[in-house]
Amino acid sequence: MKISLARLSGTVATLFTFALLFSSHQMPAQFAGASASAGSTLTIPVAQILQPEALHHLMLTPGGEKPLILQVGSHLLYAEGHIPGSEYVGQGSQAAGLKQLEDRVNALPRKKPIVLYCGCCPWNRCPNLGPAFAKLHDMGFTNVKVLYLADNFGTDWASKGYPVEQGR
């Protein structure tokens, strides 16, 4: 059987594409719902996890209600780079940070779409997202997503070419 270069390259390209897709997008299920180790309390249901490309798409899509995007990690890292339009609301791992988060969202309708993100350190080590997500859940918010940044904000958002804003 004769296999042309075109067909061979098509097959390899397809396999390569699948390898890329699965290597970068199948991680959340492994972490979601499981208590992370060492310094993290991360327990995010799979359905609430949002991929970076999905959030970026949402930001670019005209019309519709835009989510309130909140950074719940380090203020210094937020100052170095954050998602345009996002707000810093304190560290989710600290009581003062959770109070700041509560104050920011308290007056909002409970169906308001909210996206939480951090990216301070690897996803399964993040100490901030779990408590912040739990706080919003306890307050009755029903449309909360958490941005999945596998390694950190620099690697999984900034270096991927998604928009970044600097400043506090």
- Which residue ranges make up the site for other proteins (CB under 8 A)? 3, 5-14, 16-17, 20, 38-40, 73-77, 79-81, 91, 93, 119-122, 125, 127-128, 151-161, 166
Residues 15 and 22 sit within 8 Å (Cβ to Cβ): no
Among residues 39 and 45, whose Cβ is nearest to other proteins? 39
User: Alpha helices, DSSP H only, in 26-83?
Assistant: 28-31, 52-60, 75-80
CB of 95: closest distance to other proteins in angstroms?
Answer: 13
CB of 2: closest distance to other proteins in angstroms?
Answer: 11
Among residues 110 and 160, whose Cβ is nearest to other proteins? 160
Among residues 6 and 47, whose Cβ is nearest to other proteins? 6
* Three-class DSSP category at 55: helix
Among residues 14 and 30, whose Cβ is nearest to other proteins? 14
- Cα dihedral sign for 39, 77, 60, 87? positive
Query: 95: number of CA atoms within 13 Å, CB side?
Result: 0
